[in-house]
Structure formats: structure tokens, C-alpha cells
């Protein structure tokens, strides 16, 4: 997955977890740290949907993360975090 796609997926997951509503491309364009237009965000979100990371509950709705999208987000959190060895043992 490209870095831009990953950052947008992360933004969608975090926003969805806070809001509990589908996330629109306009919201992504406004909140993203990347310089993306609403149309670019829509294209990336469509691609993430094709790959199974997002779903669109209704035609005019924004997108929500799927189980696969949430799993990818959580796995990346662990990859980026530095967890002391003893805590890793507890998680295993």
C-alpha cells in the first residue's frame, strides 16, 4: 500500500472511531495532512474499497472501515510503536 493511501486509511479509521459515522471525501480533504482534493480523496477511498479496507453503506454515504481496514490500522500501530520486551511477552 502506498504511503498516501495508508495515511488516508488511518485518518478514516481514526475519524470513524471518534464520530461513529461514515467519513466523506470532503472531510478527508479538509482533515488530511496531505494536500489532497476531495476528488483525489474519493479516488483513493474507492481504491481502498476495492481492496477491502473500506465499505460504503449507501451510494451517497461516505465510507467506513471494514474488519480488514481496522486490522490493518491496529497492526500498523504495533509496527510503529516501541514496546518494551516484557510488555510484548504479556501481549503474546
- The residues spanned by each domain of the chain are 3-91
Stronger pLDDT, 34 or 65, i.e. the higher one: 65
Q: What percent of the chain has pLDDT over 90?
A: 70
Query: What is the CATH number that goes with domain 3-91?
Result: 1.10.10.10
Quote the cell numbers at residue 52: 477491502
| Cβ atoms of 31 and 11 closer than 8 Å | yes
- Above 80 in pLDDT, residue 37? yes
* Model pLDDT, residue 57: 85
- Residue with the three cell numbers 478527508: 28
Tell me the pLDDT band of 89, cut-offs 50, 70 and 90: low
pLDDT tens per residue, range 1-36? 899 999 999 999 999 999 999 999 999 999 998 899
**Whole-angstrom distance, CA of residue 83 vs CA of residue 89:** 10
| Cβ atoms of 23 and 63 closer than 8 Å | yes
**Whole-angstrom distance, CA of residue 68 vs CA of residue 12:** 13
Amino acid at each position: 500500500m502506498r504511503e498516501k493511501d495508508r495515511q488516508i486509511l488511518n485518518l478514516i479509521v481514526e475519524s470513524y472511531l471518534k464520530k461513529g459515522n461514515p467519513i466523506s471525501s470532503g472531510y478527508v480533504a479538509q482533515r488530511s495532512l496531505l494536500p489532497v482534493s476531495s476528488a483525489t480523496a474519493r479516488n483513493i477511498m474507492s481504491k481502498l474499497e476495492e481492496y477491502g479496507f473500506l465499505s460504503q453503506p449507501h451510494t451517497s454515504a461516505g465510507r467506513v472501515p471494514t474488519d480488514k481496514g481496522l486490522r490493518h490500522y491496529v497492526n500498523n500501530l504495533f509496527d510503529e510503536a516501541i514496546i518494551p520486551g516484557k510488555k510484548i511477552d504479556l501481549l503474546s
